[in-house]
Amino acid sequence: MTSLVRLRALSFAAACFALASLSQPASAADPAITLVAPQSEVGFTIKQLGVPVNGHFKRFGVQTNFNPKSPQTSQVALRFELASATVSADADPELGKPDWFATAKFPQATFASTGIKALGGGKFEVAGKLNIKGTSRDVVVPMQLAQAGGVSTVTGGFALKRLDFKVGDGDWTDTSIVANDVQVKFKLVLQGVPAQ
C-alpha cells in the first residue's frame, strides 16, 4: 500500500475516532423513539498534511428516551460500528488495524449521556462518557433540535483529539502528518420524540 493510501487511512481513522465519540450502548431507551437511519448521518473531517479529508460511518444506532420538556431526566445512548467507517476504497482496510481502530478487539465505540441541559431556543448540551479502544473520556456535545411533521432532527458538531484515544498509534502519533484534531458533524432524524 502506498504511503499516500496509508496517510488517507490514518487520517480517516482519526476522523472516525471522533465520530465514534458520538456512540454508545443505551441503557434507558424509549421503544417509541426510533432512528430514521436513511436520513441520518455522522461525518467527520481531519487534516492530512494540511488537507481536509472527509469520512463517515455507515452503521450506527441510537437509543433514547429524550423529552425536550424534561431533558434532565432524559438519556441518550449511541453505538457506532468502527468497521463501518469509510473514507475511500484504498484506505478503509487500514482502519481496522491495531494502530487505528483495532476493530477485532474493539468493534464498537460508545457514548453514554450523564446529563442533558436545555439552553433555550431548541439548543441542548449533552454531557457523557465516550469510549473508544477501551479508553473512556468525558465529553460535552452541543446539539440543536428541530421538529416538523412528527419528525425530530438533531444536529450538532464538536472537536476531539484522536490521540486521547490512541487512534493513530505508533508512527502515526506524528501530528504533522495526520492532525490530532478531528471535527465531527452529525444529523440524527428521530420519530417519536415528544414536542418541545
| pLDDT tens-place string over residues 179-188 | 999 999 999 9
Taking the C-alpha atoms of residue 196 and residue 184, their distance in angstroms, rounded to an integer, is 26
Q: Which of 7-16, 42-51, 99-108, 156-165 has the lowest mean pLDDT?
A: 7-16
**What's the CA dihedral at 84, 88, 89, 92 to 10 degrees?**
-50
List 130's β-bridge partners, or say none: 111, 137
Taking the C-alpha atoms of residue 190 and residue 10, their distance in angstroms, rounded to an integer, is 32
Residue 121's contacts (CB-CB under 8 Å, 6 or more residues apart) are none
CATH number at residue 104: 2.40.128.110
Q: Which three cell numbers stand for residue 57?
A: 460511518
Residue 167 lies in a domain: yes
Number of helices and strands in the chain (H, E): 2, 11
Query: Which tens digits make up the pLDDT trace of 130-154?
Result: 999 999 999 999 999 999 999 999 9
Residue 19's contacts (CB-CB under 8 Å, 6 or more residues apart) are 42, 43, 44, 55, 56, 57, 80, 85, 109, 184, 186
Residue 61 lies in a domain: yes
pLDDT value, residue 10:
45
pLDDT value at 3 more than 50: no
Residue 148 lies in a domain: yes
pLDDT value at 38 more than 70: yes
Residue 30's pLDDT band (boundaries 50, 70, 90)?
low
Please report which residue ranges of 41-175 form alpha helices under DSSP H.
92-95
pLDDT value, residue 90:
84
Task: Please tell me the total count of domains within the chain.
Answer: 1
pLDDT value at 98 more than 80: yes
Residue 196 lies in a domain: no
Looking at per-residue pLDDT, the higher value among 102 and 10 belongs to: 102
Residue 13's pLDDT band (boundaries 50, 70, 90)?
very low
Q: Which domain holds residue 25?
A: 3-191
pLDDT value, residue 89:
87
pLDDT value, residue 29:
54
pLDDT value, residue 123:
98
Mean per-residue pLDDT over the chain, rounded: 87
82 CB-contact burial (10 Å; exposed 0-12 / middle 13-18 / buried 19+): buried
DSSP secondary structure, 122-139, as one string: TEEEEEEEEEETTEEEEE
